[in-house]
Amino acid sequence: SAEQGWWDGILPDCWLLIEWPEDAEAPTDYWLSSLPADTPLTDVVRLAKVRWRIEHDYRELKHGLGLDHFEGRSWPGWHHHATLVTAAHAFLTEQRLAPKASTPDSLSTRPSTPSRAS
């Protein structure tokens, strides 16, 4: 085995997942995976698609919440900064996923100042 420093020359099985939308002339995405052969196809697709969410969240952490703004030199300072950014991201994620209350006359639809009759 590879752990012992030798290789038997047999490559492990892998999945080739191809996304080809019906309205596209050619495939739009490809993924290689080393998941076990008995992994349900729905799980393989779900895991391939989760990459978009990870990249989106990382971009939000870095640019939207300032993860890349730390300029200190200490581990405790960086850890404090990263913890606050992560907490802010968790809050925003919770807000995004929370069910929205539907009210017929929401505060956001009413004018901010009363109208004056002439």
The tally of domains found in the chain comes to: 1
Token pair 């890349």: residue: 68
Residue 117 confidence class, pLDDT cut points 50, 70, 90:
low
pTM: 0.52
Q: Spell out the alpha helix ranges (H) of the chain.
A: 41-59, 75-97
Residue 3 confidence class, pLDDT cut points 50, 70, 90:
low
- Of the candidates 80, 84, 83, 85, the one whose C-alpha atom is nearest the C-alpha of residue 58 is 85
Output 6 or 37, whichever has higher pLDDT.
37
How much is the average pLDDT of 81-109?
A: 83
User: Which residue range is the domain that position 50 belongs to?
Assistant: 12-67
Task: Give the pLDDT score at 118.
Answer: 45
Task: Give the pLDDT score at 43.
Answer: 94
**Residue 60 belongs to some domain of the structure:** yes
**Residue 80 belongs to some domain of the structure:** no
**Residue 44 belongs to some domain of the structure:** yes
